[in-house]
Amino acid sequence: MVIGIADGDTLTARCGQPGAYEQIKVRLGAIDAPERQQPFSQQSRQKLSSLAFGKQVGLDCPRKDRYGRHVCTVMVPPAGAPDDRPVVDAGLVMVRSGMAWWYRGYAREQTPQARERYAAAEREAQTRRLGLWADPAPMPPWEWRKTNRAARASTADPS
């Protein structure tokens, strides 16, 4: 069960049986959502919350990232049927709704079919100017993080 939403691509899940629960941090694989200081960050977080918070989800977690988070495909119940089996890919919904980018840097970890679905979902969101694509110049989070690291490094440089 999902018990917390940190942002548009990170959640906390409680796994296991009563009395033996384990709490894990989950990073949705294949997507990157706006950082907290970026436009659409709050909307992205709210979208993931509406998809997953308080729901039983399916997790397929092939690896951990450098921060120790489980990188997973997160399957959620269909909209309007929160008690149904989790069969909807939350990451794909986030991309299709314009609340996250398809993170091509990790596309090799996806099946060819999943790559096609994510690419098509992102094109559709761009074409329809949904969510972050309504911004005239949306900056992907990986570029935003790189720019901010460089800016912080230059202000910290005493020379």
Quick check: is 35 catalytic?
A: yes
Cα 68 from Cα 115, distance rounded (Å): 25
Tokens 């935003």 -> residue: 144
Helical H segments across the chain, by residue range: 41-52, 90-96, 112-127, 141-156
Q: What DSSP letter does each residue of 84-125 carry, written as one string? A: S---EEHHHHHHHTTSSEE-GGGGGGS-HHHHHHHHHHHHHH
Task: Name the catalytic one among 14, 22, 35, 122.
Answer: 35
Quick check: is 69 catalytic?
A: yes
Tokens 């940190």 -> residue: 6
Task: Name the catalytic one among 27, 45, 96, 117.
Answer: 27
Cα 156 from Cα 90, distance rounded (Å): 39
Task: Name the catalytic one among 45, 69, 96, 117.
Answer: 69
Q: Which residues are catalytic?
A: 27, 35, 69
